């Protein structure tokens, strides 16, 4: 098989286990490509890809590239000295960025791309689930699993392709969607963007990629999104639909009523009120659902049917995902790592909680911490108690003087009850000592803090058994 200008009949993915890369590998494998790849460790995602016939090596080495490799697919996280990337250059094998591969996969489909500083994975998932529920069998590529490993992507028989569009490295400039959603516009990804002007310019370029006659669905509430809308309004052959609680919103959110871990939402669309359930708590998730509704309507999906189908969405892994309960304490996993996300998730959980809200937070990236430590600390003040772990570096090298202590100091200035824990292994015991029946405990961050959930539950259960 061959997709667009890139030869993807036998692709090799460096870092195939990553959220974005694994989805593309899955779609290509289902389409009949001879997929290979490598990752730093074994994982459930790697096992799921092997079950589809992919050849996956653990560890990075030049010999991992099979004979006959047609292209090597990389993300921005792959460093120039990676031995497989070096081998590709030596063998004159074309190197394809992940975004170019995704753009090729979307070719010939009605593409719907979801962008924004945060909320992309949830909104993309809502669309994928609801369109699937309506029997439209969309293809999709999401930055997180819906439920089981490998559920972050699907090759559908329908004409719609829903994709999460990443602004972090400007790779969303590669897509040409019929419908684009922009949920919010904030300064993030400080290694790639030096100012809000650069952020606005990048999002303007993305809007310019919408196909003629296509639709931009954009927040009517978010300050950065409203500024972007003012910059792009009036462009020829572009339909703009604003969504939110603001009185001037085209699709207006009239009410969001908490119902425990769900919300009842009422919107006004084309003069008619629609009521539906969102099966995750929090006003921000309700607004994500409203944006998904507006985008589906732009593609011609009947509004009432889509609103009902959105109710079938029950969440995505790591987005306020209930991991379990032990000793009367519920443990919930949150992917939030930007201050706005952190505050939104803590406010949502606060609405659902009967007892205290505790959080163990793992900062993500030195550059983000350097720029946003004050705001992260302020967000943690919304919890009744918090534990802050060391920074998860991901792709970055340390920055002198940048540690989690910057966040802890800011949290204390904001009145938070917070303490540091530098030993990842010691965190479950500490959190178990802090928690009491009726509490909600969040594991929060984009790194491996998610792995603490089962360990905390085990420790809680052990303490309860001895009581």
Question: What's the pLDDT band for 463 if we cut at 50, 70, 90?
Answer: confident
Question: What's the pLDDT band for 63 if we cut at 50, 70, 90?
Answer: very high
Q: Does residue 352 surpass a pLDDT of 80?
A: no
Question: What's the pLDDT band for 2 if we cut at 50, 70, 90?
Answer: very low
Query: In terms of Cα–Cα distance, which of 233, 237, 264, 236 is closest to 250?
Result: 233
Q: Which pLDDT belongs to residue 319?
A: 66
Angle between helices 303-310 and 283-298 (to 10 degrees): 140
Average pLDDT over residues 308-330: 80
Please indicate, yes or no, whether the overall pTM of this predicted structure exceeds 0.85: no
Question: What's the pLDDT band for 315 if we cut at 50, 70, 90?
Answer: low
DSSP string, 205-220: HHHHTSPTTEEEEEES
Report pLDDT digits (tens) over 144-199: 666 555 678 999 999 999 999 988 888 899 999 999 999 999 877 666 777 889 99
CA distances from 260 to 264, 280, 334, 352, 437 (A): 10, 9, 17, 5, 17
Stronger pLDDT, 321 or 447, i.e. the higher one? 447
**Which residues lie closer than 8 Å to 300 by C-beta, 6 or more apart?**
none
Report pLDDT digits (tens) over 111-147: 999 999 888 888 998 999 999 999 999 999 987 666 5
How many whole angstroms from its chain centre is CA 174? 19
Burial annotation 75-103 (CB, 10 A radius, 16+ → b, else e)? bbbbeeebbbbebbeeeebeebbbbbbbb
Phi/psi region, residue 113 (left: phi>0; alpha: psi -120 to 50; beta: rest), is beta
CA distance 250 to 269: 7
CA distance 449 to 243: 33
CA distance 151 to 153: 5
How many whole angstroms from its chain centre is CA 373? 21
Pick the range with the lowest mean pLDDT from 162-176, 187-201, 331-345, 385-399. 187-201
Under a CB-based contact definition with an 8 Å cutoff, are residues 383 and 346 in contact? yes
Q: Does residue 412 surpass a pLDDT of 60?
A: yes
Report pLDDT digits (tens) over 204-225: 999 999 999 999 999 999 999 9
Identify the three-state secondary structure at position 400: coil
Q: Which pLDDT belongs to residue 3?
A: 43
Q: Which residues are designated catalytic? A: 120-121, 164
């Amino acid at each position: 098989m061959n997709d667009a200008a890139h030869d993807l009949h036998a692709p090799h993915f460096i870092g195939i286990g990553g959220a974005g890369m694994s989805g593309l590998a899955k779609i290509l494998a289902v389409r009949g490509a001879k997929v290979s790849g490598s990752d730093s460790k074994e994982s459930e995602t790697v096992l799921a890809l092997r079950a589809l016939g992919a050849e996956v090596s653990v560890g990075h080495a030049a010999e991992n590239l099979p004979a006959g490799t047609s292209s090597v697919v990389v993300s921005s996280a792959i460093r120039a000295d990676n031995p497989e990337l070096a081998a590709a250059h030596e063998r004159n094998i074309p190197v394809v960025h992940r975004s170019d591969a995704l753009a090729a996969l979307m070719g010939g489909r009605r593409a719907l791309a979801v962008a924004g500083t945060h909320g992309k994975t949830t909104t993309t998932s809502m669309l994928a689930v609801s369109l699937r529920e309506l029997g439209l069998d969309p293809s999709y590529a999401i930055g997180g699993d819906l439920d089981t490993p490998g559920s972050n992507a699907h090759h559908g028989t329908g004409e719609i392709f829903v994709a999460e569009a990443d602004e972090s490295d400007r790779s969303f400039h590669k897509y040409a969607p019929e419908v684009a959603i922009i949920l919010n516009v904030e300064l993030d990804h400080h290694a790639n963007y030096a100012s809000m002007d650069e952020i606005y310019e990048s999002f303007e370029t993305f809007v310019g990629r919408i196909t003629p006659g296509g639709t931009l669905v954009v927040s009517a509430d978010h300050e950065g999104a409203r500024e972007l809308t003012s910059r792009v309004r009036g462009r020829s052959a572009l339909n703009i639909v604003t969504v939110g609680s603001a009185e001037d919103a085209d699709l207006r959110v009239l009410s969001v009523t908490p119902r425990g871990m769900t919300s009842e939402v009422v919107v006004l669309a084309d003069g008619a009120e629609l009521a539906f359930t969102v099966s995750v708590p929090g006003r921000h998730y309700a607004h994500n659902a409203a944006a998904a509704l507006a985008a589906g309507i732009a593609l011609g999906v009947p509004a009432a049917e889509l609103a009902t189908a959105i109710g079938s969405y029950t969440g995505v892994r790591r987005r306020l995902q209930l991991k379990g309960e032990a000793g009367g304490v519920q443990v919930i996993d949150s992917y939030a790592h930007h201050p706005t996300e952190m505050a939104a998730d803590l406010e949502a959980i606060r609405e659902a909680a009967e007892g205290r809200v505790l959080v163990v937070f793992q900062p993500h990236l030195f550059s983000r911490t350097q720029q946003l430590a004050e705001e992260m600390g302020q967000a943690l003040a919304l919890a009744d108690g918090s534990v802050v772990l060391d920074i998860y570096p991901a792709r970055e090298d340390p920055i002198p003087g940048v540690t989690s202590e910057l966040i802890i100091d800011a949290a204390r200035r904001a009145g938070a009850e917070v303490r540091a824990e530098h030993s990842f292994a010691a965190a479950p015991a500490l959190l178990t000592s802090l928690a009491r029946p009726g509490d909600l405990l969040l594991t929060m961050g984009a790194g491996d803090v998610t792995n603490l959930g089962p360990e905390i539950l085990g420790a809680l259960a052990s303490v309860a058994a001895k009581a």
